[in-house]
Every structure is written in C-alpha cells, then in structure tokens.
Amino acid sequence: MNRTKVRRALVSVSDKTGLLDFAAKLVAEGIELIASGGTAAAMRAGGLPVTSVEQVTGFPEMLDGRVKTLHPRIHAAILADVGSSAHRDQLYKNDLAPIQLVVVNLYPFEEGVARQDITDDEAVELIDIGGPTMVRAAAKNHKWVGIVTSPEQYAEVAQAVTEGGLDDRLRLDLARQAFYRTARYDAAIVGWLEGLAGDVPERMMLALDRASELRYGENPHQSAALYGERGKTSWWGQARQLQGKEMSFNNYLDAEAAWRLASDFSEPTAVIVKHANPCGVASRDTMADAFFAAWECDPLSAFGGVIGLNGRIDEPTARLVVENFVEVVVALSVSEGAAEILARKKNLRVLVAPAPRGDDLDMRRIENGFVAQRRDQVAKTQPGKLPDAWESVGQRPLSTDVLIDLRFAWIVAAHTKSNAIVIAKDRAAVGIGAGDQSRVGAAQRALAQAGDRAYGAVVASDGFFPFRDGIDTLGGAGVVAVVEPGGSMRDEEVVAAADEHRMAIVFTNTRHFRH
C-alpha cells in the first residue's frame, strides 16, 4: 500500500473548529503550512508558522477576497502528477514544489440561505469559488494528494500523517467525500437560484445523506434506510428519542403524519395515526383530556397507533398512554415525572421534537422520477370566527360552537387521505372515513364509527359533494353542519339538501385532497 508523505499543506477554512490543534500536529511533523487570509491570521495568532498564499503566488488578494487561491502556482502544485517526469520537470522549471495535503471547508452557503433575513446580495457572497476549485483539484489528483473537507476528518488525517503518510485507501475515501461535498454545495446553490426564479423549480438537485439504516421497509423482505437533505433541518433530524426500540420505516411515516396534524393546532391537541391516517383527534384544555378524547374516537383502530401531542407530556397524560398499546409518541417536551412513567413501557418509542416547518416541497416517487408540489397547508383561522374565504351558503345560521367544530374538523380532513369525511363534536373527532373510493362511502364509514355521537355533530369533507346523496346520508344521522370546498356542478342541489335537513353548510373555496 502506497503512502503519500506530506511535506506541504494548503489550508483555507471557513469553519475554524479544531484548526489550531490540527495545524499544530502538522507543524510538529515538519510540514510547511500555506494558508489564505483569515486562516493564516488565525494560525499566526495561535503562534504557528505559516506561509501566506500571497507569498507563494506573488499576487495579492483582490476583489474583496473573491480572488485569493485562483492562481497557477497554487493549482499546479495541487494537480501535478508527481509520478510523471514531465510534470516534475515543469514544476522544477517554474520553481514550484508539490502540495500533498489540501484542507478546505467552504463558505457556509447552506446555513446562510436558511436564515430568514438574508438578502440576495449576502447569499451571493457566500457562494465559494476558490474553495470548491481547490477541493476538486485535490480530489482529482487523489493518487498523490489528500483532501480534507471537514473538521471531523482531522483526527484520522493527523494520525495518518504521524504514521508516515496518507495511504491509498484514505486518499480515495477523502476524495469520494470531497466530490460529494462539492456536489451537495452546488445542489444548494441551484436550489436557491431556482427558488428565486419560481415557486416550483425547473431543475432540482438533491444531496442526501443516509441518516440511518432501518431494519426493513414496509415489509420484512424490503431493505430500507432513512435519508436527510444535507444542509436542511427537519423535525425528525432534531428529535431526541428518549427511550424505546429503533424507529422503523412505518414508524417514520406515521410519526410524520401525526406530528404535522398535531402541529396545525395551537390548543392542546392529541392525534392518533394508523397507516398514515388519523383515527383519533381531540383538542382540550389539558393534554390528558385531549388524549382521552382522541382515543375514544376509535379505540379499535388506535390500538398500536402512533401519537402526536403538540405540547408537554405531563404525568396524567403519561399514565393514560401506558394504559394502552402505543408504538410511538412524539411531543414537544416530557416532564421528568412523565418520563419515569413512560419508561415502564420499554419498547415504547418516545420522541421529543420541534414542530415541523411545513414549507418544503412535497415529493412522491414514481418510476425513474418524481412528482413535486408545494406542501399543502391549512389556512390559519381564528376559532369561532368565519374566515374571510369561507361562505355560509345555507339557510341555517352558524353558532360560535358550530364554527369552532367546523374549523377543527376541516383541519383534520386536510390531513386525511381522500376521499375523507371527518365527523366532529366538541373539538373531537367521533368518526373518520379515510381513503374511500367514493365520498358517500367515506360518509357511511365515518357514520358507522360515530354511531349516536353523529347526532348534533359537524362534518368536514376534503372535496366537494358531487351529489346530494352524501348530504342526505349525513343529515339522516342528525349532523347539524357541513364544511366543504364547494365547486360542484350540483352545488345548488347539495345546498338544497342541507336546507331540507336543517343543516348549516359552508363553502371554503379551497379543497384539500390527499393521495
């Protein structure tokens, strides 16, 4: 195995974490350090000997630092194939010595554009030019050069240097990581520029890191892994798992569904999800009461479900959770006493996570491609007040209590697979028909689940009623109000049916299909 002994190292880093300790180890091995601007200043302040890039190139930094390392005396030293006599002769004739180690981390473009207050001009200045050029040059010439792109690599590289040099395996591994680093950096820039051009980008480049391998996919015979977009944050990436078994493929999908729905409410709300559909949702003044009411919606389906609680798990809530069979609980926080109670169920997965942002692209895989859309979001409404876009189109007036329940049911319906019918009463779902092929079928399923609780309840439908039969079915069960998008060719018939059943009816003028 060939080892490259390091005699000269070029260092140019934006993130100076661990820099002085790493550079000191290189100096201790007799390695000449060459560094640009701020990196050179930091090493000098740390008492380390360093040669500036300007001393090597004979050319000053210019254009506010946009041009520093873009010079033949730098890149020839990195790109030289020292196994070639012709390359060695050209280095000698130009009084150049090869560089065996390049240490570069890039301007923090990804972190910068994630800020809400960044200007376009500031973002442009965070686009690194010289850094990626050096990284790619060193990675191309990995037969002779090691390329370090992250402080996380310092320890391994320093150890290799002290043991005589960088071996073939290490240089190749560093090059692989380096080209991925420049690829994902370019992907972030493309994403930002495309975002300036329009709502749905014309081009997309995804840089994905495997966050973890999963035991299997939806079924045991399917291999699976969890991936995250590099440079972006997610609620699950910031979540802390307090206890329980590892999360599975299905757990992540159900937890995503539960957590997004729970986070759409401001009042204490509990959500129970099974197979990516809510089977219980309730809002109450306390989290324990919300969980109890959510479980009462459909206890049979809730068995083995995934729970989203949009607040703190206290001891009363924890006691209710452990009384039932639950796979996963996601919450904003867990009290110390509640954590002790939940620990009685060793296999129960408990996650503490921030609320999802919900403004990313929703992408679905199809063969050799994707369909993508802006993620659907339910317009925020004030409880008890008719939103501006909503129209009361029937004869029955709307009371404050009915409006509160309509708003509640509408949010739940937006998170339920189409066709979706949600029956709600006193800020709790009492019947949910999800994923049915017909809207009247969804209504029948929801009514079967609600039973007598449908009397005096309200209904939300994610799409319009194409015929009056759905309204007739609900009205016959004693439903007092319906909220739906409107827009059917037979809206007049639907409204007339609601009037016949003395039901209030509201058109939102927005639908929330979910496939």
Q: Which residues are catalytic?
A: 140, 275
CA distance 331 to 239: 10
Asked if residues 298 and 275 have their Cβ atoms less than 8 Å apart, the reply is no
Q: What is the DSSP letter of 62?
A: B
Do 76 and 94 touch, CB atoms closer than 8 A?
Answer: yes
C-alpha span between 129 and 107 (Å, rounded): 9
For 491, the token pair is 């809206």
Encoded tokens for 284: 């109450």
Residue 326: both structure tokens together: 């639950």
Q: Tell me the C-alpha to C-alpha distance, in Å, between residue 129 and each of 54, 68, 106, 136, 192.
A: 17, 10, 9, 11, 16
CA angle 365, 185, 17 (to 5 degrees): 125
Q: Residues 410, 462: contact at Cβ < 8 Å?
A: no
CA distance 326 to 321: 7
* CB contact at 8 A, 402 and 390: no
- The CA distances from residue 73 to 9, 30, 97, 135, 316, in Å, are 14, 22, 9, 16, 70
Q: Which helix (H) or strand (E) holds 143?
A: none
DSSP labels for 340-358? Answer: HHHTTSTT-EEEE-PPP--
Are 146 and 4 in contact by the 8 Å Cβ rule? The answer is yes
Which among 102, 72, 124 is positioned nearest to 6, based on CA atoms?
Answer: 102
One DSSP character per residue, 245-299 reads SPPPHHHHHHHHHHHHHHTT-SS-EEEEEETTEEEEEEE-SSHHHHHHHHHHH-H
CA 72 to each of CA 7, 58, 84, 129, 338: distance values in angstroms, whole numbers, following the listed order:
19, 11, 18, 15, 64
The helix/strand count (H/E) of the chain reads as 20, 23
**By the 8 A CB rule, do 88 and 82 touch?**
yes
- Copy the structure tokens of residue 360: 């990313």
State how far the Cα of 414 lies from the Cα of 15, in Å rounded to an integer: 43
- Look up residue 174 and give its DSSP letter: H
